[in-house]
Structure 1
């Protein structure tokens, strides 16, 4: 492995690890706020116990996310110094604002965790809401910085110089809205299905049925509504990519030839050397319709784009197929769940439905990782689209491969620690909030 591949691999691993904790930080505080609100309105102690249990889990994941996020910020400067030299002054604003949002989130989380019976009850609830809003803002700001890499704005590039810098235009570039919308909804889908699936598993095991049923319903409703909205945001994002990054769209679909009534490809094995796809299902005209809203307008193929500007087609295509396939599966689960919910069926008695949610625990996050693969690998060979190539931004320092190995060991260790702590937290929940126990009233505090 050469240093360039090592640097890209380290960045990919760091982003892939951190994005899970970022999504939890964006979404779980809203679940907590819903549960806390229900407690304040109904006085039902189970909702109080649920809010406390979730908040302790969030604290564990927040701490881990803070560590991985800090590592990422250092990696940008260490691995990609040429990129940061020029890009830092342009998109530094969203990063600095993200730091502010992070500090607000940390302070509000401290208030929430230690504010029980110390603050006015509605002020205490509001601090939890601030955790969610600041976490959401933090995620959107980071995505805005990433969107700038896909759609550079806020400067003029003249004779290799970056001049007339406008940080506001850089932050609100053409890609920020579609990427932020898609990311936020994806975070709710992934986290919602993961949380709902864990509680569904506890229901199947007949542990603290009432507690886990209430938790399951909050997470499942949020997740399924988000999953139904996701195709809409996906369509907006795909149209934006088609307009700005035709090479990325062509790679997503392994679309080599520009032709009228361009076909949408489902599945298939990509042969980049011979520029063909084997065993795929082509739906004539559908790609043209999705991009241009008619069935005849051609979609640019890779053969009309210089070969040196092609992204790795197979990786992008497979990642896109995984994202779409899992997204449609979760969409169908959502339709089934909401239909049964509206019909007021006893969902807990439907073991097959609970098993569907258990099966879905990792699927949202797999789709999320696949989506980020499409975004990042699909932009290659550019680190700043059509301005700076990734190979020109990497550090000249040798030995990056050893840094990759060290960081891999750190992330594996963090993963093991987080799994252990979350497992212990779940065991504590079973002990403290077992409503069937005669000592429940004493344990719940």
Structure 2
């Protein structure tokens, strides 16, 4: 493994690991706040216990996310010094603001965890909301920085120099809103389905059913609403990418030749040597509509883009297919869930629906990871789109492969530790209602 591939692999591993914990940190506090609010309004002790159980999970994920996020910030400087030398003064503002949001989140989480029976009950609830809002803001600010890499703004690039820097314009670049919207909905979808799926599994095993049913309903509503909105966000993102990064869109759809109208490919095996796709289902004109809102519009293919600026087509295409495929499945589950609610059917009787949620536990995060592969790999060979190539930004320091192996071991260890802590946390959920009493409450 050469140093360039090792540096990219280490960054990919770090981002792939951190993104899960950052998304949970963005979303779980809102579940916690809803449960806390229900306890304050109904005085049902079950909601209080649920809030406390979730808050311990939030603390575990926050600590792990803080460690992995700190490692990422160091990696940016160590692995990509030339990139940070030029880009730091331009897109540094969202990173500095993200640091502020992180500290607010940490302080608010401390107040919440240790504020039981010590703070005013509504102020205590408010601190939990601050954890969620600051975590969400932190995620949006990081995405704004990444969006700048996809849509550089806030400077003039003259003779290799970055002049007339405007950090505000750089932060609010043309890609930040679409990326932030898509990312936030993806975070709520993935985390919501994962949390709902875990509680659905406990219901199926008949463990503390009333407790887990309350938790399931809160997480499932968040997840299903986000999953229903995600296709709208995806449509906005696709049209934006078609305008700004036609090479990425062409790689997503493995569109080697410019077509008018252009078909949408479902599946297919990419042959990058022959520049062809076999075995795909083609929907005539659908890509034209997706990209430009017109079934007869022309979509630029890779044949109109210099070959040395082509992204890796196979990886980008497969990742895009995984993301869309999983998103479609989660959309189906969401529609089924809301249909069940409208029919006022008991969830306990719909064991097949609970099994679908269990199946979906990892799916949201797989789609999330695939989406980031599309974003990052689809931008290649650029680290700053159209301005700086990734290869030109890597550190000249040798031995990056060893660093990659060490970081892989660290992240694997952290994964095992977090899994153990969460498993123990779930096992410690107290039995507050016996089976007979809980069955009287089992209504959807």
- Give yes or no for contact 1:49–1:433 (8 Å, CA) kept in 2: no
Deviation at 1:344, TM superposition (A): 1.1
Corresponding position of 2:85:
85
Partner Cα distance (1:337, 1:437) in 2: 25
Tell me, yes or no, if the aligned pair for 2:195 and 2:219 is still in contact at 8 Å: yes
Distance 1:40 1:91 in 2: 42
Counterpart of 2:305 in structure 1 is: 305
TM-score by length of 2: 0.98
**Mapped partners of 1:198, 1:257: distance in 2:** 45
Task: Tell me whether 1:337 sits opposite 2:320 in the alignment.
Answer: no
**2:441 maps to what in 1?**
none
Query: 2:196 maps to which residue?
Result: 196
- Secondary structure of the structure 2 residue equivalent to 1:265: strand
2:107 matched residue in structure 1: 107
Query: What residue in structure 1 maps to residue 320 of structure 2?
Result: 320
2:433 to 409, 413, 435: 435
Task: Map residues 121-140 of structure 1 onto 2, 5 A cutoff.
Answer: 121-140=121-140
Residue 436 of structure 1 and its aligned partner are, at CA, apart by: 2.0
Residue 443 (structure 1) aligns with: none
Distance 1:378 1:66 in 2: 28
Structure 1 residue 296 displacement after superposition = 1.1
**Aligned-CA RMSD value:** 1.1
CA spacing shift, 1:66–1:320, aligned 2, 3 Å: same
Task: Say if 1:247 and 1:301, in contact at 8 Å, map to a contact too.
Answer: yes
Contact 1:46-1:433 at 8 Å conserved across structures? no
| Distance (Å, rounded) in 1 between the aligned partners of 2:54 and 2:286 | 43
Aligned equivalent of 1:150 = 150
| Pairs within 5 Å for 1:90-239 | 90-239=90-239
Partner Cα distance (1:68, 1:132) in 2: 19
Contact 2:258-2:303 within 8 A present in 1 as well:
yes
How many angstroms does 1:435 deviate by? 2.1
Alpha-carbon distance between aligned partners in 1 of 2:432 and 2:407, rounded to the nearest angstrom:
40
In the alignment, structure 1 segments of 5+ residues that lack a partner are 441-445
Contact kept in structure 2, 1:198 and 1:358, CA below 8 Å: yes
What do residues 241-266 of structure 1 show as CA deviations (whole Å, max 9, x unaligned)? Answer: 00000000000000011111100000
Aligned to 1:257: 257
2-side partners of 1:385 and 1:185: how far apart?
25
Query: Map of 1:341-360 to 2, 5 A cutoff?
Result: 341-360=341-360
Deviates more, 1:282-291 or 1:305-314: 282-291
> What are the superposed Cα offsets for residues 80-125 of structure 1, whole Å, 9 maximum, x if unpaired?
0000000000000000000000000000000000001100000000
Partners of 2:431 and 2:60 lie apart in 1 by 19
TM-score, normalisation: structure 1: 0.97
Distance 1:129 1:342 in 2: 29
Q: Distance in 2 between matches of 1:288 and 1:76?
A: 37
SS at match of 1:331: helix
Cα distance per residue 1:381-418 (max 9 Å; x no partner): 00000000000000000000000000000000000000
What is the alpha-carbon distance in structure 2 between the residues aligned to residue 342 and residue 76 of structure 1? 49
Taking the aligned partners of 2:401 and 2:189, their CA distance within structure 1 comes to 35
Number of residue-to-residue matches in the alignment = 437
